[in-house]
Structure 1
Amino acid sequence: MKEKIGFIGLGLMGHGIAKNIIEKGWPLAVLAHRKRDAIDDLKQRGATEVTSPRALADACDVVLLCVTGSPQVEAVIEGENGLASAGKPLLIIDCSTAEPASTIRLAASLAPRGITLIDAPLSRTPKDAWEGTLDVMVGGADDAVARARPILEAFAGRIVPTGPVGTGHTMKLLNNFLSMGYAALYSEALMIGAKAGLTPQVFDSVIQNGRMDCAFYQTFRRYVIERDPNAHKFTIANAHKDVTYLAGFAQALGVANPVGAAVRNSFALAVGAGHGEDYVPMLSDIVATMNGTSLTK
């Protein structure tokens, strides 16, 4: 018999993940949320709805989290009526992008209470979440990862064990540092080109199918060239949060990360200018406008 699954965090990624879990035959309960569309869709597919993390823990064997970051993870686990307050054994799979130090601390705090926490952050896009082809980085003990694997396989095309708990979130920060670094580089290069009279179309004709092409560039260019606003539905505010987590992690390690600081500042400027809810490829327009040029003329 399949374990009962709970899900908290039905945002752009979470909705598709939860849809795949229920379609693959897992009993699913979801937490009430202020945005009803995802919950109503999942209920039509057979999910049940609960009103608190504690009620979710009471009803489930395994709970997946896909929330914004460490403060939200800590709140739904340790807060009033949180998952831990149910006082029962539980496997928590944290698919959020969180701070490794928080993840390690939580795991150590929960273990004596019979609650196992593993980190399983995600890579790729909401489209991949919907299609069940996400990449997942998993940190945790071998037995816990083995227990989680069949659930992860419901929505992942690739699952990569990374080591002990916390290493999944570490790898996720590095992955997002690279991807957001590309976004900052593309945006600055496009702006310089436009300022010099080189169109984004010419830029794209050189980069696409060349050595500097990659899957991330393909979604980025779909906004720049085709003006598809939904090419990569990941907000600039979330990108800024992730590279800020990386800065804190590097500081805790006592290492210099000057490139990371530059990437973070690119996103900090965009957030400070009021563009936090724009999607990452839109950084290209923001950087261009700040420098008195346009990518659409």
Structure 2
Amino acid sequence: MSANNETVGFVGVGLMGHGMAKNIVEKGYPLTVIAHRRREAVDDLVSRGAAEASSLPELAERSTIIFLCLTSSSEVAAAVERMKSGLKAETVIVDCSTSDPTITVKIAHDLAAQGIKFIDAPLSRTPKEAWAGTLDCMVGADPETFERVKPVIETWAGKIVHIGGVGDGHRMKLVNNFISLGMGALFAEAFVLARKSGIPAEKFDGVIRGGRMDCGFYQTFIAYSLTGDKTAHRFTLANAYKDLRYAENMANDAQMQTLIASAVKNVFAGAISDGGNGPEDYVPFLVDYVAERSGLKS
């Protein structure tokens, strides 16, 4: 099947998915979406030319490639199960969520019996890049399926790396998130240590920004502490904690110690247990929880 004949379904038009789906429909692919939590996102996409399905089986019937951008492996598995009655042979389901690779491989194995491909293509960067169509994407798929879905992924991604087979995209994503969230825990503790030692926030930032320790993650992460911008880095503490648990599970499967990863996970677990479990409790708020546990008011 040529890319020009593909019809695309999208499940999960949240902070990331809305921008991704916008780029798919605006770059010429027939798109079907379904409402979940964000009715306004569906209305916007329909205004741009997308169709709305009333059920997951209906979305599956209309689609040759289906993108999932959901919160966790449990939501992915539930969505796949619900759409099964509408799936056709040769359909490709692309899981863009940050998922447990063990579950990814199991779903792919189960669907293969129906002639359906299930691959992983998790993301990196923020909703801003999703809207601009410049996300990073790491793909786990066989070469033929990768070449089939690549033109659609190119509508919303600026950097695409074919990591390997099914599950490898999710494995790399967990490693990537361990690095970024580890940096978040490190920056939060360093920022609070500087404050407790009498170094003003602007002086701390003056040293880090533009130096060797600066990076895009630092700039969006620290914006909340410096300016109060709550939306500069919209990734929740709950999702971060989930990803770190998945990374720890992956290391357990590999029979590897996680001296640092487990410590980072516990930093986020502390923030969750202290109340940072809401839908708008973002990763930069970690500074507040570290500060409060260190005797500073946030």
Preserved contact between residue 92 and residue 116 of structure 1 (Cα < 8 Å):
yes
Is residue 290 of structure 2 the alignment partner of residue 287 of structure 1? Answer: yes
CA deviation string 1:68-97 (max 9, x = no partner) = 01001100112xxx2222251211011000
Is residue 10 of structure 2 the alignment partner of residue 7 of structure 1? Answer: yes
Preserved contact between residue 201 and residue 225 of structure 1 (Cα < 8 Å):
yes
Is residue 20 of structure 2 the alignment partner of residue 17 of structure 1? Answer: yes
1:294 to partner: Cα distance: 4.0
Is residue 205 of structure 2 the alignment partner of residue 207 of structure 1? Answer: no
TM-score normalised by length of structure 2: 0.96
1:10 to partner: Cα distance: 0.9
Q: Which moved more, 1:84-93 or 1:101-110?
A: 84-93
Distance 2:200 2:37 in 1: 42
Structure 2 counterparts to residues 96-245 of structure 1, below 5 A: 96-245=97-246
Q: Counterpart of 1:55 in structure 2: which amino acid?
A: E
Q: Counterpart of 1:239 in structure 2: which amino acid?
A: A
Distance 1:222 1:40 in 2: 31
Alignment partner, residue 58 of structure 2 = 55
Distance 1:140 1:34 in 2: 29
1:276 to partner: Cα distance: 1.9
Count of equivalent residues: 292
Percent identical pairs in the alignment equals: 49
Alignment partner, residue 95 of structure 1 = 96
Preserved contact between residue 32 and residue 39 of structure 1 (Cα < 8 Å):
yes
Preserved contact between residue 8 and residue 66 of structure 2 (Cα < 8 Å):
yes
TM-score normalised by length of structure 1: 0.96
1:101 to partner: Cα distance: 0.6
Preserved contact between residue 2 and residue 27 of structure 1 (Cα < 8 Å):
no
Distance 2:79 2:96 in 1: 13
Preserved contact between residue 194 and residue 294 of structure 1 (Cα < 8 Å):
no
Distance 2:103 2:269 in 1: 23
Alignment partner, residue 42 of structure 2 = 39
Preserved contact between residue 70 and residue 97 of structure 2 (Cα < 8 Å):
yes
- Where does structure 1 lack aligned partners over 5 or more consecutive residues? none
Distance 1:32 1:191 in 2: 41
1:293 to partner: Cα distance: 1.2
Q: Which moved more, 1:89-98 or 1:31-40?
A: 31-40
CA deviation string 1:11-69 (max 9, x = no partner) = 11000100111110111000122431101111111111112221111111110000001
Q: Which moved more, 1:247-256 or 1:141-150?
A: 247-256
Distance 1:51 1:258 in 2: 47
Distance 2:246 2:84 in 1: 25
Alignment partner, residue 265 of structure 1 = 266
Preserved contact between residue 191 and residue 294 of structure 1 (Cα < 8 Å):
no
- Where does structure 2 lack aligned partners over 5 or more consecutive residues? none
Preserved contact between residue 25 and residue 50 of structure 2 (Cα < 8 Å):
yes
Preserved contact between residue 135 and residue 158 of structure 2 (Cα < 8 Å):
yes
Preserved contact between residue 57 and residue 87 of structure 2 (Cα < 8 Å):
no
Preserved contact between residue 140 and residue 164 of structure 1 (Cα < 8 Å):
yes
Distance 2:297 2:181 in 1: 21
Q: Counterpart of 1:88 in structure 2: which amino acid?
A: K
Distance 2:180 2:117 in 1: 30
CA deviation string 1:261-286 (max 9, x = no partner) = 11001111111111123111111122
Preserved contact between residue 235 and residue 279 of structure 1 (Cα < 8 Å):
yes
Distance 1:201 1:127 in 2: 25
1:202 to partner: Cα distance: 1.1
Is residue 83 of structure 2 the alignment partner of residue 83 of structure 1? Answer: yes
- Give the 3-state SS of the residue equivalent to 1:105 in structure 2: helix
- Give the 3-state SS of the residue equivalent to 2:84 in structure 1: helix
